[in-house]
Structure 1
Amino acid sequence: MEKIGIGLIGYGGIGKIHTLSYKDIGMYYPGHLPEIDLAAVCTSKPETARKAVRDGGFRKWYTEVAELIQDDDVTIIDCSLPNFAHKSVLLQAIAAGKPIYCEKPLAMNAAEAREITAAAQQAGIQIGMTLNYRFLPAIMRAYTLIQDGALGQIYRFQAEYLHTGYEDPQRPLSWRLDHAKSGGGALADLGAHAIDLMRYLLGEFEAVRAFTKTFVPERPLKAGARETGKVTVDDAAWLQVQLKNGGIGTIEASRFATGILDELRFEICGEKGALRFNLMDGNWLYWYDAARKGGDFGGERGWQRLDTLQQYPGASIPTPRSIIGWQRPHAENQYQFLKAIIAGKSFQPNVIDGLRAQLILEAAYTSAATGEWVNVEQQ
């Protein structure tokens, strides 16, 4: 393959981040991949599509998804659309035999996720998921520590993904607040990341019990409007989790965390040690090694700050001592996906990771409706 032809479907906020990341990959990893060609972009309107070509650097534009997918210059489909549009795009791309890079969550619900997964597996098409926080050096270091047995048996964990910004009741309705278009609220949007990270680090979920809350039940249909519409998703959610390995934990997702900007944080405690991380302090992973000796005034015991920063093996720039930014793990997620496709290797996070996150979300929403513990299906 002389070029990797990217066909981006959707040029909203996340589509722009994907575009910027594709442009940066060649600088981070010069010569590691064939040339990345921003071959085509698709939006719903000609004026936005033309703007995407002009601002994003794409060569062609479309307003029909099917036309972009069938374009011979497009070898990779990037689905950066709202949740309700994923299934149609992914099934069309699978039918066309083209690998797909898809924003989370995979689909609107477990039934759609199963359908997409079955189609991809039957056709032998890879779907790479945008679960970009896996690609922070701090998270990758946490993964290696856990895999190497540094924590031993896992006893407990707590994870939260907290945002502010929805406290104003005059904030208008959007697709994110409409269950028919989003498939869920804070839990599906933010909680999906926390769920994936705990699955990635600690293993499969066995059962969940959940509680959800909608603080503002109605909002203006548009900015400044008197007419209101119903909010049909959760503003916040709380999960109790039982892991298959015996660990117990909690997960919280909220868009009503006043004063908090973008905190994805966790603490994991095991028999041999513990780990802490906060996205707003993302240059470091905190590790407690219980094997260190105690003694006078505490001896050698205590939390260690591991300087993970931009420790990406093989990256040309920035230097490993440079501070990490929010966009960088997006670029790494995309790079590792493209690298696997070119090499003919499997990639993770893949469609199975997307499906299993969806099954956990499904179990959580079922539990929130009943108040009971719900077992998580694995497939």
Structure 2
Amino acid sequence: MKIRVGIIGSGWSANALAWAFNAVRFSVREEKFPKIELVRAMSRTARKVEAFAREYGFKEWTTSETDFFKGDLDLIAISTPNNTHALYSIKAMESGADIIIEKPFTVSLSEAKDVVSRAEKLGRKGAICLVSRLIPASVIARDMISRGELGEIREFRAVIAHAKHAYEDTRFEWRMSKQVAGGGVFADLGVHALDLAESITSRRIKRILGRTYTVIVERKDPVTRQSVKVDTEDVGFALFEYENGAPGIVEASKLSPGFEEQMRVEIHGSRGGVRFTLTEPHTVYLFKRETQRIEKIVKGFEEIYPWLNWPAPKSFEGWVYSYLVLVKNFVDNIAGLNESPYPNLKDGLRSQELLSSFYESAASGKPIEAIL
């Protein structure tokens, strides 16, 4: 069996997905796993998309939607500015392809609902790149909690920090425009932590209070060199409550020099607690009340995902490998091989519900009852 793949975009996440599509071909042990054929890439800039396509081995490249959506692709990955996610998702599904979409799902809850509705009508499947839930540490922590090792969940805490917008001389980009991005650091990064708050604990958030801060209010346009107003947040805080009344907090920042792609998660329960960081994606630290000791539990990707043939055990860090897991699991499903878990369109819709509640609260200054 062959899966013909197209990708829209040529930025960082498009590179991560293109790498994953290549790597999965020699990383999966299973003989029945389909052959991945990289057919076509599309982006707005001809020079950039050609370089991207050549680097990753796509047979064709284009800047034309007409030339891209020919109806001959089985899977289309969408890694473009957020305000195009819904448009390209629907075009891709109508052309007969299943889809992988970068987070955030869309720029609004109504768009997310529309994409899910269209997918159901067209009989198409979709995955959302909420890839933090696929790193080994997240899987280990989720399994511990599901077995009851922490007892009743009492508190969730997460910080996700990035240095991309830390300095005033950083030029204006589309993620600083609410119209294009739908939101700032919470739409870009905080959504990962909000997703983990529910996916790891299997508890639903019922109420959320949001606070946003645009610290650097103007940036220089890279073309005109004129000052442009920034209307997305640099820093945000979400204080929330689970259905059982337990509290949680997520902090997201793009003003954190020296902490590029940092994420720290702590979950505390009546019998103990766990913590892990993105810089140690294989490692969970577990505290148990009975023993009064902190255990260090280490499991590599190859232990969590036994189908992995490469990379070698414990030889890497970073979450780009979680894109590999996402691609493999999604292809399993669309090829009818296994019902392998992946963040699907309904997971994406839930993440959009939480983002919508967060931003509504930040605008009103009042807590919002999240959709349950």
TM-score tier by shorter-chain length is over 0.9
Does the Cα contact within 8 Å between 1:209 and 1:241 map onto a contact in 2? yes
Once residues 110 and 47 of structure 2 are traced to their aligned partners in structure 1, the CA distance between those partners, rounded to angstroms, is: 35
Does the Cα contact within 8 Å between 1:212 and 1:234 map onto a contact in 2? yes
One-letter code of the match for 2:80? L
Deviation at 1:351, TM superposition (A): 0.7
* 1:169 equivalent in structure 2: 168
Answer with 58-67 or 209-218: which moved more: 58-67
Once residues 223 and 92 of structure 2 are traced to their aligned partners in structure 1, the CA distance between those partners, rounded to angstroms, is: 36
One-letter code of the match for 1:221? D
Once residues 193 and 152 of structure 2 are traced to their aligned partners in structure 1, the CA distance between those partners, rounded to angstroms, is: 20
Count of paired positions:
367
Provide, for residues 9-58 of structure 1, a one-character-per-residue CA deviation record: whole Å limited to 9, x for no partner: 11112111111111111221143511110011111233333222322210
One-letter code of the match for 2:287? Y
Deviation at 1:263, TM superposition (A): 1.2
Deviation at 1:322, TM superposition (A): 3.2
Structure 1 residues 366 and 219: CA distance shift in structure 2, 3 A: same
Provide, for residues 43-100 of structure 1, a one-character-per-residue CA deviation record: whole Å limited to 9, x for no partner: 123333322232221011222234323242x110111111011111011122223210
Structure 1 residues 224 and 211: CA distance shift in structure 2, 3 A: same
Once residues 66 and 99 of structure 1 are traced to their aligned partners in structure 2, the CA distance between those partners, rounded to angstroms, is: 18
Deviation at 1:285, TM superposition (A): 0.7
Once residues 339 and 245 of structure 1 are traced to their aligned partners in structure 2, the CA distance between those partners, rounded to angstroms, is: 35
* 1:65 equivalent in structure 2: 65
* 1:206 equivalent in structure 2: 206
Once residues 238 and 49 of structure 1 are traced to their aligned partners in structure 2, the CA distance between those partners, rounded to angstroms, is: 36
* 2:345 equivalent in structure 1: 351
* 1:250 equivalent in structure 2: 249
Does the Cα contact within 8 Å between 2:71 and 2:96 map onto a contact in 1? no
* 1:237 equivalent in structure 2: 236
* 2:326 equivalent in structure 1: 333
Does the Cα contact within 8 Å between 1:172 and 1:223 map onto a contact in 2? no
Structure 1 residues 53 and 321: CA distance shift in structure 2, 3 A: closer
Answer with 305-314 or 125-134: which moved more: 305-314
Deviation at 1:313, TM superposition (A): 1.6
Structure 1 residues 245 and 337: CA distance shift in structure 2, 3 A: farther
Once residues 25 and 321 of structure 1 are traced to their aligned partners in structure 2, the CA distance between those partners, rounded to angstroms, is: 18
2:368 equivalent to 1:374: yes
Q: Secondary structure at the match of 1:281?
A: coil
Structure 1 residues 92 and 146: CA distance shift in structure 2, 3 A: same
* 1:186 equivalent in structure 2: 185
One-letter code of the match for 1:370? S
Once residues 206 and 253 of structure 1 are traced to their aligned partners in structure 2, the CA distance between those partners, rounded to angstroms, is: 20
Q: Secondary structure at the match of 1:134?
A: helix
* 1:315 equivalent in structure 2: 308
One-letter code of the match for 2:88? V
Deviation at 1:320, TM superposition (A): 3.2
Once residues 107 and 137 of structure 1 are traced to their aligned partners in structure 2, the CA distance between those partners, rounded to angstroms, is: 27
2:49 equivalent to 1:49: yes
